[in-house]
Structure 1
Amino acid sequence: MENSDRRTGDHSGDSDDADTTPDAATADQPSPMTEEAESENETGRTAKKPFWRRPVFLILLLALLAAIIAGGLYYWINIAPYESTDDAFVDADIIQVTSQISGQVIKVSVGNNVAVKKGDLLVEIDPAPTRAALETATAQLAQAEAEKQQAEASVAQAKQQAAEAKANLDAANVKADNAQQNYERNKRLFESNSAAISDMAVDDSQANALQVQAQAKASEQALATASTNVGVAEAKVAAATAAIKAAKAQVDANRIQLGYTSITASQAGTIVQNNVGVGAFATKATPLMALVPDDIFVTANFKETQLDRIRPGQDVDIYVDAYPETEFKGKVVSVQKGAGQAFQLLPPQNATGNFVKVVQRVPVRISMTNPDPDRYVLGPGMSVTPSIRVD
């Protein structure tokens, strides 16, 4: 019954609606285009786009690609052309300041961490003992020179005596020849005519010849003695000359020792570890202080696998831990021929068979071309990171 009433009502409504205008009827009916649009909107709201099609994903992808390209460029520009290590430190040829003589210290001119120039006075040792030794050596030199003069005078005198002995010998030989000839002549005359000359005259001429010959022999011996005296005098001259040389050497040695009483800086640098004071006794060859030269360098222990591209003369960028904002410059000076452990006091031996291969480190010496000692405090042992440009 209710359905029939509803149908009846509907028919009655339709009849009422038939009286309305066609436009109103058209407006009341839904458009097919409007229904399709609404259905698409509902479908778009319910079905979302894939993640890779969203703009955010594309932006992130482009950013990632840009980062990879930037990283690659950074690597090829700033990393690939360099060999670097953090096993490096500032180094220097540290000079141990020692005394070359023993003595009491009377003056110390510098303290710790003081910059000095070449030739600056560091320590002065009491020069009195050395000066006294120098004066003694000078006196010995003067004595040796006087003895030489005496010896030279003796040589002159001996030579004069030898010349006189030679002249006497020559005269004696002439007399002996004359006396011998006179004797032989008288002897022949007596043998041929005994009345012409007496035998006494012959005997007298013979005795005279013998006497003159004896005098000639005496003159010969005197010449030999004089010649010997000349040799003795010349030997004294040679001894005096040698004594002069020895005395001069002693004077020079004491003068050098006197110079050792003033200890000066051998080169420009900074004094550290000053262990001496006024009144202390300095012992020969005992370190008094250390001098760190201004000419410092870097010792970098590179892995042996990094040495293939390292050559002397290559430019180096040096970064000191104490000055991270400053870039120092340098050059490769040399590469040590051998790993560091090969020069240890007890080098490792791998003959037992229990061997584990370890990459060795090789020291590379790098000069520093622009360290300003007045601005940067750089000294041995400070950590650095060198980067060698090897391309």
Structure 2
Amino acid sequence: MNTTPNKIDKIVVGTTKVIGIGVLCALSIWGISLIMAMLKYERTNDAQVEEYVNPINTKVGGYIKKICFTENQQVNQGDTLLLIDNSEYRMQQDEAEAALENARSQTGILEANIATLKSNAQVALSQIDAAKAKMIRQQQEFKRYQNLLKEESTTRQHFDNVKTALDIAVSEHQATVNAYKAALSKIKDVEAQKLSVLAEIRRRQFMLGRNKLELGYTVITAPYKGKVGKKIIQEGQLVQAGQTMTFIINQQGGKWIVANFKETQIGQFKTGQKALVTVDAFPDAKFNGEIESVSPATGSRYSLLPPDNATGNFVKIIQRIPIRIKLTDQDAKIAGLSAGMNANVSIKKESYE
């Protein structure tokens, strides 16, 4: 009666032993492989996929007229993303163009004035020659009557009349010389005004160029090929210069991994060293990479408030060093990776290479 239960107990005990031995062997194999991997590789799960995620900002303020993209849309370089109402900027450009034309017209008027003043100066110059000839003739007449007076061959009254005529001729000559100098001075004044107007023209040209730039800034385009992120604006919204419209992933900038290794792990790391990457989103896929650079400082040193160990309450904590790993696989293989995905990185130690 008791034989059958004993046999069953023995079978259960034997099966349990076999299962236990199998589990123990599996755990031993797993443990040995884990230890071997730890000896062979430096590993970290503190890693993420990185891409250039840049904001799209507006350079001018205004009301959004039209949004030409949707969230997560693929765009090419130069594609229009949104339009800002440009009515005010177009009016400012028209005003700048009119002011420039007005300044240019002033140069024509000044050039005509300069031509007129030069003609007047030539007339004054010719009058100088005539007055000079008259003065010389009167000087000769004065000398002749002066000799006649000494010889008492003429009257004092006649001599005084000749002297007065000489004084008048000298004054007229001086007056023509002064008139010529005044004409030259006026020419210089107008030429100085012309230089001022030319400077004003250049200033107006710069202002017009600036207005054209601002008018062009009302059309916001994609700076490169990529994928637009979250849309945080609406049509009709008033935006200010410098405000963020959206974000764009720069697909031309490539993808890489930033792995934060412990400071005790990086002693033998060097540029170009091979790395193996797995991503949580694709657990069955393996990605190849190589160390591109090692950060010159720990991650905590780049924080807003870096720790100060001189405060008296120091607790030693193992620091992390950011390692930039370049993905060397084809673009088609890494196309599914997105910025921010968690990754696991293994780097073979030099002694096992």
* TM-score, normalisation: structure 2: 0.83
How far does the alpha carbon of each residue in 1:121-173 deviate from its partner, in whole angstroms, 9 at most, with x for none?
11111122111111111111111111112112222222332233233224323
Q: CA RMSD in A?
A: 2.7
Answering whether residue 238 of structure 2 is matched by residue 281 of structure 1, we say yes
Contact 1:151 1:240 in 2 (8 A): no
Give SS of 2:249's match: strand
Instruction: Give 1:323 shift.
Output: 1.1
- Give the letter aligned to residue 378 of structure 1: L
* Residues in 2 aligned to 1:226 and 1:324: alpha-carbon distance in whole angstroms: 93
* Residues in 1 aligned to 2:288 and 2:120: alpha-carbon distance in whole angstroms: 84
Residue 267 of structure 2 is matched in structure 1 by 308
Distance 1:224 1:341, change over 3 A: same
* Residues in 2 aligned to 1:94 and 1:273: alpha-carbon distance in whole angstroms: 11
Of 236-245 and 79-88, the range deviating more from structure 2: 79-88
Contact 1:112 1:272 in 2 (8 A): yes
* Residues in 2 aligned to 1:185 and 1:305: alpha-carbon distance in whole angstroms: 120
Contact 1:314 1:390 in 2 (8 A): no
Instruction: Give 1:204 shift.
Output: 2.6
Answering whether residue 243 of structure 2 is matched by residue 320 of structure 1, we say no
Give SS of 2:259's match: strand
2:42 to 83, 96, 99: 83
Distance 1:382 1:201, change over 3 A: same
* Residues in 2 aligned to 1:230 and 1:156: alpha-carbon distance in whole angstroms: 9
Answering whether residue 162 of structure 2 is matched by residue 194 of structure 1, we say no
Q: Percent identity between the aligned chains?
A: 29
Residue 135 of structure 1 is matched in structure 2 by 94
* Residues in 1 aligned to 2:349 and 2:111: alpha-carbon distance in whole angstroms: 76
Distance 1:389 1:139, change over 3 A: farther
- Give the letter aligned to residue 88 of structure 2: P
Give SS of 2:260's match: strand
Residue 292 of structure 2 is matched in structure 1 by 333
Give SS of 1:370's match: coil
Give SS of 2:59's match: coil
Tell me, which stretches of 5 or more residues in structure 1 are unaligned? 1-59
* Residues in 1 aligned to 2:273 and 2:44: alpha-carbon distance in whole angstroms: 15
Moved over 6 A (4+): none
Residue 118 of structure 1 is matched in structure 2 by 77
- Give the letter aligned to residue 162 of structure 1: A
* Residues in 2 aligned to 1:375 and 1:106: alpha-carbon distance in whole angstroms: 37
How far does the alpha carbon of each residue in 1:249-300 deviate from its partner, in whole angstroms, 9 at most, with x for none?
1111111011101101111211112111222222211111111211232211
Residue 165 of structure 1 is matched in structure 2 by 124
Distance 1:81 1:374, change over 3 A: closer
Residue 230 of structure 1 is matched in structure 2 by 187
Distance 1:373 1:269, change over 3 A: farther
2:257 to 295, 298, 315: 298
1:360 to 319, 342, 348: 319
Answering whether residue 231 of structure 2 is matched by residue 268 of structure 1, we say no
Residue 206 of structure 1 is matched in structure 2 by 163
Distance 1:387 1:71, change over 3 A: closer
- Give the letter aligned to residue 215 of structure 1: E
Higher alpha-carbon Rg:
1
Of 82-91 and 136-145, the range deviating more from structure 2: 82-91
How far does the alpha carbon of each residue in 1:216-255 deviate from its partner, in whole angstroms, 9 at most, with x for none?
1211221222122112211221121011111111111111
Contact 1:158 1:233 in 2 (8 A): no
- Give the letter aligned to residue 134 of structure 1: Q
Answering whether residue 173 of structure 2 is matched by residue 216 of structure 1, we say yes
* Residues in 1 aligned to 2:178 and 2:76: alpha-carbon distance in whole angstroms: 74
Distance 1:207 1:127, change over 3 A: same
Distance 1:84 1:121, change over 3 A: same
Residue 105 of structure 2 is matched in structure 1 by 146
Give SS of 1:307's match: coil
**Count of residues in Structure 1 that have an aligned counterpart in Structure 2:** 323
Of 256-265 and 166-175, the range deviating more from structure 2: 166-175
Distance 1:216 1:267, change over 3 A: same
Contact 1:108 1:122 in 2 (8 A): yes
Answering whether residue 138 of structure 2 is matched by residue 179 of structure 1, we say yes
* Residues in 2 aligned to 1:175 and 1:219: alpha-carbon distance in whole angstroms: 12
Residue 346 of structure 1 is matched in structure 2 by 305
Residue 214 of structure 2 is matched in structure 1 by 257
1:93 to 52, 56, 67: 52
- Give the letter aligned to residue 194 of structure 1: E
Give SS of 1:129's match: helix
